[in-house]
Amino acid sequence: MGNMYSLRPTALDELDYRIRQVKIDACLVLRNRRLVYRHYRKPEFEREPHKVNSVTKSVLSLLIGIALKRGELPSLGALLSDFVDGVPPDKRAITLEHLLSMSPGMEWKEAGAWGSLPPPGEHEADWIRFVLDAKMTDPPGKKMIYNSGCSHLLSAVLQKATGMTASAYAGRHLFAPLGIDDWDWPSDRQGISIGGFGLKLRPADLLKIGQLLLAGGCWQGTSSFQGSGSRRPPFPACPPRAGTVCTGIIGGSTPTAPSKRPVRASCSRKASRDNF
């Protein structure tokens, strides 16, 4: 990232103090290709894969980009109904881009809307059908509403297009090139990798994905991921932040703090559910 920004001498000490006030399992900070801070609440957390919750969505969007680059998906304008059976007539205009931008026009409540109770969809035998049965409230593309159901539909699309679950596809085309060899990605009752949450990664491996994104798809001198969505992942649009990018808070949904320092951070904590 270069040396145009300085890091205050006390910055890492302040970070360490704050992290130790809460139950952060692991935190890694990389600056100028050098690991400048490492924290593990317990020694075993360095090797233990942690549930990344909604970072799962980010990984899935990269897989969609890879499938597009490889020609296994035609375009972001492809219709959901081309890959998923039984799409109701009122949802047949929904495209992959609508799902990636979480703007399919469906009525949706995330986990937080149900208090401490599991959202109804988790009790359903067929999660895809549960999502497709949601009421339409807007035309596709009009409004973004955070929706883990969109990600699960994308996982089904990827599986249909490639003949592989998202977990297996990630293992071959994303994790293996990055040297990631230990992960867990559960599936629903139909054998579809859960699109919106559930992926488990080791902290150092989450940092690798952050490095890949910041480098625009380059990894260890190669550009094998360029053009696969890693430079501009089709995530929901958010206001731009300067400098620092945090690759994610494992186990919870925590916004990235604004910063002017080119630091790459990967933090892990046990936290609330973020799913449907």
For the segment 170-222, what is each residue's pLDDT rounded down to a tens digit? 999 999 999 999 999 999 999 999 999 999 999 999 999 999 988 888 888 77
Structure confidence at residue 221 (pLDDT): 75
Question: Of the ranges 49-53, 119-123, 164-168, 228-232, which is most confident?
Answer: 164-168
39 and 59 in a single domain? The answer is no
Percent of the chain predicted with pLDDT > 70: 74
41 and 87 in a single domain? The answer is no
Sheet containing 34-40: order of strands: 34-40, 24-31, 263-269, 245-250
Give the predicted TM-score (pTM) of the model: 0.81
**Looking at the predicted structure, is the pLDDT value of residue 66 above 70?**
yes
33 and 95 in a single domain? The answer is no
46 and 92 in a single domain? The answer is no
The answer to whether residue 2 sits within a structural domain is no
**Looking at the predicted structure, is the pLDDT value of residue 262 above 60?**
no
Q: Three-state DSSP class for 155?
A: helix
21 and 98 in a single domain? The answer is no
36 and 61 in a single domain? The answer is no
The answer to whether residue 225 sits within a structural domain is yes
Task: Calculate mean pLDDT across residues 248-271.
Answer: 40
User: Exposure of 258 by Cβ count < 10 A (0-12 exposed, 13-18 middle, 19+ buried)?
Assistant: exposed
The answer to whether residue 274 sits within a structural domain is no
Q: Report the residue count for the chain.
A: 276
* Contact in structure between 101 and 76 (CB atoms under 8 Å): no
Q: Considering only CA atoms, which of 134, 53, 69, 126 is closest in space to residue 99?
A: 134
105 and 46 in a single domain? The answer is no
Number of domains composing the chain: 2
86 and 113 in a single domain? The answer is yes
38 and 61 in a single domain? The answer is no
46 and 139 in a single domain? The answer is no
150 and 247 in a single domain? The answer is no
Structure confidence at residue 51 (pLDDT): 93
The answer to whether residue 111 sits within a structural domain is yes
The answer to whether residue 229 sits within a structural domain is yes
Residue range(s) defining the domain that contains residue 236: 11-53+181-189+198-269
The answer to whether residue 20 sits within a structural domain is yes
The answer to whether residue 98 sits within a structural domain is yes
46 and 59 in a single domain? The answer is no
The answer to whether residue 3 sits within a structural domain is no
* Contact in structure between 105 and 142 (CB atoms under 8 Å): yes
Domain CATH for 138: 1.20.58
DSSP 8-state symbol, 90 = G
Structure confidence at residue 122 (pLDDT): 66
Give the whole-angstrom CA distance, residue 165 versus residue 195. Answer: 10
The dihedral through the CA atoms of 51, 188, 233, 253 has a sign that is negative
Lowest pLDDT segment from 82-86, 98-102, 257-261: 257-261
Structure confidence at residue 4 (pLDDT): 52
